[in-house]
Amino acid sequence: MLKRFFDIFCSLIGIILLAPWFLIICLLQIISSGFPIFYIQKRVGKGNIDFNLYKFRTMRSDSDKLGLLTIGGRDSRITKLGYYLRKYKIDELPQVFNVLLGTMSLVGPRPEVRKYVDLYTKEQLTILNVKPGITDYASLQFFNENDLLAQSISPEETYIQEIMPIKLGLNLKYIAEQSFFIDIRIMVKTVLKIVK
């Protein structure tokens, strides 16, 4: 109950404070690469139920048909504005609407696409017992995941066999020890990481 109240309070404050910046980004998006402004992707949430995750669009339209993973900060599918939105994690900000709607929390395991969730073990599927979040332990450890994948000969294989198991292990760790104070600590560390 406390977590949900905190999510609603912070997301409302965030939306109010960020509204002018959202407007500026929307205008820049239209000028630089047209519509759509937002990128909506199906992700798997609590209870193994799909939901729409909102982001500012950073790639050319239909780029996800060429692959779900982003390879490096200079992936050729990324728009000029999109590069900076991604670099400073600004593209993630519309997820405050997901938090307000209740499909996500501020802190929790990052939601995956169905393709990768289908590879989870029975133990790993327990991650879907909690709401996904905007940030978590895995987001902090793999802050520059795109750059790591860019160094791989086979990025998807690297993601599935090396990165994803570590992420899921961190998610299970979070679920085992989650508390309001741990959420605050993860949020503070995330902000400091972005500022750095």
Give residue 22's identity as a one-letter amino acid code.
Answer: F
pLDDT at res. 71: 61
Other Cβ atoms less than 10 A from the Cβ of 89: the count is: 16
Cα angle, residue 174 at apex, residues 172 and 176 outer, rounded to 5°:
70
The pTM for the full model equals 0.90
What is the token pair recorded at 126? Answer: 């327990």
Q: What is the mean pLDDT of residues 127-149?
A: 93
> What is the CA 169 to chain-centroid distance, rounded?
17
Q: Per residue in 79-137, pLDDT tens?
A: 999 999 988 889 999 999 999 999 999 999 999 999 999 999 999 999 999 999 999 99
Tell me the pLDDT band of 152, cut-offs 50, 70 and 90: confident
Q: Per residue in 8-43, pLDDT tens?
A: 999 999 999 999 999 999 999 999 999 999 999 999
Ordered DSSP codes for 18-66: HHHHHHHHHHHHHHHH-S--EEEEEEE-GGG-EEEEEEE--B-TTGGGG
Termini Cα distance of the chain: 33
pLDDT at res. 144: 84
